[in-house]
Amino acid sequence: MGVWFRGDTATLVSGLAAPGRAMAGDTLLPWFSVTKVLVGLSVMQQWERGRLDPDDAVAAHVPEFGANGKERVTLRHLLTHTARLAAAVGDDSWPGLLDTACASPLAEGWEPGRRAAYSPQLAYSVLGEVVQRLDGRPLDAYVSEEVFEPLGMADSWLALPPERYEAYGDRVGVMYDTKRDGPGPVPSLARASGFERTRPSSSGVGPAADLVRLLVALLHKGELDGVRVLSPQGADTMCARHRSGLEDETFGEHVDWGLGVIVNSWHYRRRPAPYGFGDHASPRAFGHGGNQSSVAFADPDAGLAAVVIFNGMAGEARHHRRTQRVVNAIYEDLGLAG
């Protein structure tokens, strides 16, 4: 776990990164869907460089996406998960996901922007392709050069090369499936090949402390340690509420969204929404969660950024309970509750 609070930082670790190996502050772990924050930021950078507008049709940048009634789907719809695609995911490689998204029709009766349903893989696979086509660099190289390096996220990767995986050695933590008796490693993440492919929706990997730096940069309106990755207006726009008052049909609860981030949705039911930020976060808190294992957020009113990563995928309900307890404890220990 990494925490930044009004200029001070702390890294807290507990448990084992692998059998017989203690978790450490520099242990690399998968971020899963927290990766979407990187893609949202990358899209915002393209906007600031005059290469796109969020209200552009997706097909203006990826023409093959405009098939099967998706001509009216915009980049904003994908960023805010308000364009539900009907196709089921088969091939989960990035090319496979892109092909699936382009061939898919919208869900039956779906009016883009009027309904909401979180897309775990397809929407941000298309957005990553948009960034890659507009910039010309492979997405993993773009993110490394335009986000990770400027922000000092030295051990963060969108695609971790096998030789770097081997060089990290024991610093790469093992992700476990803990939903069943006799937990075991997640097979796809137990070897170098599980980390070498870029997936814009989910392939980020690195230490929690690195990810905190990304959140602090957004908290500081796009700047960290004198280096700017987004304008103040761009950072404010990204983290503002662009989708509100809609029930998310994936989660079954009202969840508000910015352009690549979840915005605190506690007020709907007076409890944290899925992958939420506890009971004490301000209405302006924003961030994202990673599949049954992490939550990462920043709270402008509290001057707080925190990343909590577990290396056991415990199932949605159990994961929600444990993250919200930890997040609440952070606020309470820092005197921010109430």
Per residue in 289-328, pLDDT (tens digit) is: 999 999 999 999 999 999 999 999 999 999 999 999 999 9
Structural domain contains residue 338:
no
What pTM value is reported for the model? 0.97
Residue 181, pLDDT score: 79
Strand order across the beta sheet in which 8-11 lies: 8-11, 2-5, 304-309, 294-299, 286-290, 262-263, 256-257
Domain total in the chain: 1
Burial level of 253, CB count in 10 A (0-12/13-18/19+)? Answer: middle
Range of the domain at 314: 2-333
Rounded Cα gap, residues 46 and 68, in angstroms: 27
pLDDT band for 141, please (50, 70, 90 cuts): very high
- The H-or-E segment that residue 5 falls in is strand 2-5
Query: Can you spell out the DSSP letters for 272-317?
Result: PPTT---SS--TT-EEEEETTTEEEEEETTTTEEEEEE-SEE--HH
Q: How far is CA 154 from the centre of its chain?
A: 18
Instruction: Supply the mean pLDDT for the chain.
Output: 97
Say if CB 305 and CB 297 are below 8 A apart. Answer: yes
197-251: pLDDT as tens digits: 999 999 999 999 999 999 999 999 999 999 999 999 999 999 999 999 999 999 9
| CATH (domain of 205) | 3.40.710.10
Q: Is 303 within the bounds of a domain?
A: yes
